[in-house]
Amino acid sequence: METKIFTTNEIKQAAKLIQAGELVAFPTETVYGLGADATNESAVKQVYLAKGRPSDNPLIVHVADVATVEKYAQTIPAAAYKLMKQFWPGSLTMIFTLKPGVLSKSVTGGLATAAFRFPDNDATRKLIELAGRPIVGPSANTSGKPSPTTAQHVYHDLNGKIAGILDDGETKVGVESTVIDMSTAMPVILRPGAVTKSQIEAVIGSIENNHHHVGEKETPKAPGMKYTHYSPKAQVTIFDPTTDLTRLNEWLNQQTQAIGLMLSNDVKAKLTLNKNIETYSLGNNLQDASHALFAGLRYFDEHSEINTILVQAFENQGLGTAYMNRLEKSAGGSHF
Ligand code: TXA
Ligand code: MG
């Protein structure tokens, strides 16, 4: 099957495929998702197969209104309504306890809860409305690879495995949504994302964080957090521009093999780089860097001679918490 790329004038055709139980990747403001009818068990199973995703890692249910969440969730606390009002459509995924038996085991990985999100993308909002049902959507990459921020990234990983891709250009944010568990007395952030802890706390007061690294044998609250993620073929190593620059400059100048270097423009201006060093710009600030991170890791994957990629750290705060969470996973803890 050749995967068809749909423009935003062809949403109807994409919606028909979803209704027919086919897989169609869709744009969001964070990353592209791999869409299927959330109410069609065999379509949802295909999503795991196409990605090579472990079956105990549940999927986010994408909606285009609050009413659909009310149809499935057992209880939606008042704080959750406040968060929806403030951040939907947008990069906040909320977990609720489900009414029994309303969503298949393949959506929830057998959990009594499910994750819901209303993405901020007009084409996808229309896709969900025309399909007339919620759409599951993990990031549309092969499991373990960096998440896709363009339709071309999706095509690269999934061509031949899915029916279509709805192309709406580059995603704005570049890192995935914040996942917050609203099924517990105290809301807990399970995955940091574009909506920051302090933005959430400004709306509902104190919340907790639970997105530390866990080993393969532990059961984290967000099952996806235990798996290797965002890994290109090359080894990724993190450097800190506030402490490592002198040593980095010396080391880079000693290298005879090709090295990939992902860094912001101001940091690049402070280094003297020989011709073995291939750079990928992270732009001018943290926002730019979050937008460019996954695309940069994928860029170097296309350059097979590069075995080492050094990537700039940013301050672990605000959006930087999401950026560093993805980068730490990609590097598997490797620091310069
Ligand atoms: O920005 C995003 O969230 C993107 C776009 C496409 O919407 N989607 C995305 O999905 O990143 P995915 O499947 O790659 O990541 C979903 C995360 C996983 O870590 C998963 O384990 C967690 O959410 N999750 C899903 N349902 C859950 C549940 N019921 N309880 C705890 N964690 C859950
Ligand atoms: Mg993912």
Whether 267 maps to a domain, the answer reads yes
Whether 227 maps to a domain, the answer reads no
Q: Is the CB of 190 within 6 Å of ligand 1? A: yes
Final residue of a domain: which of 165, 193, 209?
A: 209
Smallest Cα–Cα separation from 97: which of 38, 221, 184, 225?
184
Q: What is the pLDDT of residue 219?
A: 59
Protein residue closest via CA to atom 5 of ligand 1: 33
Same domain, 102 and 242: no
Same domain, 205 and 244: no
Q: What is the C-alpha to C-alpha distance for residues 214 and 211, in angstroms, rounded to an integer?
A: 8
Same domain, 193 and 253: no
Same domain, 259 and 317: yes
The ligand that comes nearest to the alpha carbon of residue 322 is 1
Same domain, 191 and 302: no
Q: What is the pLDDT of residue 223?
A: 66
The number of the ligand 1 atom at minimal distance from the alpha carbon of 30 is 1
Same domain, 179 and 251: no
C-alpha R_g of the chain: 20
Same domain, 36 and 139: yes
Whether 37 maps to a domain, the answer reads yes
pLDDT digits (tens, 9 = 90+) for 43-71: 999 999 999 988 888 999 999 999 999 99
Q: Is the CB of 33 within 6 Å of ligand 1? A: yes
**Domain residues for 243?**
235-331
Has 113 been labeled as part of a binding site?
Answer: yes
Same domain, 244 and 205: no
Q: What is the pLDDT of residue 226?
A: 63
Strands laid side by side in the 259-263 sheet: 235-239, 308-312, 259-263, 277-281
Number of domains in the chain: 2
- CATH number, position 305: 3.40.50.11030
Q: What is the C-alpha to C-alpha distance for residues 260 and 27, in angstroms, rounded to an integer?
A: 28
End-to-end CA distance of the chain: 43
Taking the centre of ligand 2 as the mean of its atom positions, its distance from the CA of residue 30, in whole angstroms, is 11
Whether 269 maps to a domain, the answer reads yes
pLDDT digits (tens, 9 = 90+) for 266-282: 999 999 998 899 999 99
Burial of 86 per CB tally in 10 Å (0-12, 13-18, 19+): middle
Whether 225 maps to a domain, the answer reads no
To test the ligand 1 pocket, which listed residue (106, 179, 325) has its Cβ within 8 A of the most ligand atoms?
Answer: 179
Provide long-range contacts, Cβ within 8 A and 24+ apart, for 199-206.
199/87, 200/83, 200/87, 200/92, 203/79, 203/82, 203/83, 203/86, 204/79, 204/82, 204/83
Q: Is the CB of 84 within 6 Å of ligand 1? A: no
Q: What is the pLDDT of residue 212?
A: 61
Same domain, 170 and 295: no
Whether 119 maps to a domain, the answer reads yes
Same domain, 203 and 239: no
Q: Is the CB of 93 within 6 Å of ligand 1? A: yes
Smallest Cα–Cα separation from 145: which of 235, 262, 51, 229?
229
- CATH number, position 66: 3.90.870.10
pLDDT tens for each residue of the chain, 336 residues long: 799 999 999 999 999 999 999 999 999 999 999 999 999 999 999 999 999 988 888 999 999 999 999 999 999 999 999 999 999 999 999 999 999 989 988 999 889 999 999 999 999 999 999 999 999 999 999 999 999 999 999 999 999 999 999 999 999 999 999 999 999 999 999 999 999 999 999 999 999 888 765 444 555 666 666 666 788 889 999 999 999 999 999 999 999 999 999 999 999 999 999 889 999 999 999 999 999 999 999 999 887 689 999 999 999 999 999 999 999 999 998 999
Residues 238, 313 contacting (CB under 8 angstroms): yes
Torsion of CA 311, 317, 323, 327, to 10 degrees: 50
- Return the SS3 of 35: strand
Tell me the C-alpha to C-alpha distance, in Å, between residue 72 and each of 18, 22, 95, 262: 20, 23, 11, 43
Taking the centre of ligand 1 as the mean of its atom positions, its distance from the CA of residue 60, in whole angstroms, is 5
Full-model pTM: 0.95
Has 231 been labeled as part of a binding site?
Answer: no
Same domain, 66 and 130: yes
Whether 229 maps to a domain, the answer reads no
Same domain, 92 and 198: yes
Q: Is the CB of 95 within 6 Å of ligand 1? A: yes
Protein residue closest via CA to atom 28 of ligand 1: 114
- Return the SS3 of 197: helix
Q: Is the CB of 179 within 6 Å of ligand 1? A: yes
Taking the centre of ligand 2 as the mean of its atom positions, its distance from the CA of residue 267, in whole angstroms, is 29
Q: What is the pLDDT of residue 228?
A: 66
Whether 220 maps to a domain, the answer reads no
